[in-house]
Amino acid sequence: MKQWFDEKGRRLGVTILAVQPMTVSGLRTQEKNGYDAWAFKLQTSSRKPQIKEVRVNSSDFSDMKVGDEVSWVDVIKPGDWVDVTGVSKGHGFTGVVKRYHFAGGPRTHGQSDRERAPGSIGSTTTPGRVMRGKKMAGRMGNATTVVKNLQIVAVDADQRQVWVAGSIPGAKQKLVTLIKV
C-alpha cells in the first residue's frame, strides 16, 4: 500500500494492483453450457495459468473470439467504483481471544490457566448441550471475501497498474478480481 493525495488534499491509503494480460480462452453459450460467459486465461507467477469466467449477456458475444486479448485500459478508468474479491489471509487454528475478541478470564484470584479461555460454553440441564453456532476456537481466515465500493484513483497502462483506494483482501502476490459497480 501507498498513500495518495486527492484533489482536495486529503490523504488516502491506496493499494497498487498489477494487472495481468487477459486472453479469451473460451466462450460459454446458453445452448451448450446453460449460461453465457467469457472464459479468460490469466498467466500468473505460477506455471499453471488460471481460468476465470465472467458472466455476460448474450448480446456481448458479437465481437469476441477465442485468442483475443482484452484491453483492460478500455474498461477501467480513474473514478470508477469496483468490488474486490479475494481470499483472505489464513491465520490457522486460533483461539477465541484472537478469533472473536473475547476478553478472557481474570489474571488473579487463582485463575492461572483461564486467562485466554472462552469461559462457559453450555447451559444447564435444559437443553443440556452446546448450541449450534457457538463462537469457539477454530480455523480463521482463508475464506473468499468481498470488499465493496472501492474507488479507482489512478491507472498506469505502461506499468500495468491499477491504484485502488483502501485495502483489499488477501496476501501479497495473490489473485483478486475487480468487478465494476
pLDDT digit string (tens) for the chain, length 181 residues = 899 998 899 999 999 999 888 888 988 888 999 998 889 888 766 677 888 888 887 666 667 788 888 877 878 899 999 999 999 999 999 999 999 999 988 889 888 888 999 988 988 888 899 999 999 999 999 999 999 999 999 999 999 999 999 999 999 888 898 988 8
C-alpha cell of residue 128: 443440556
Alpha helices in 88-127 (DSSP H): 96-100
Q: Is 82 exposed, middle or buried (0-12, 13-18, 19+ CB in 10 A)?
A: buried
For the entire predicted model, the pTM comes to 0.79
pLDDT for the residue 48: 79
Across-strand partners of 70?
Answer: 22
Distance CA 49, CA 39 (A): 12
Between the alpha carbon of residue 168 and those of residues 82, 100, 146, 174, the distances in Å are 11, 21, 8, 11
Is residue 165 within 8 A of residue 18, CB to CB? The reply is: no
Distance CA 26, CA 43 (A): 15
pLDDT for the residue 165: 96
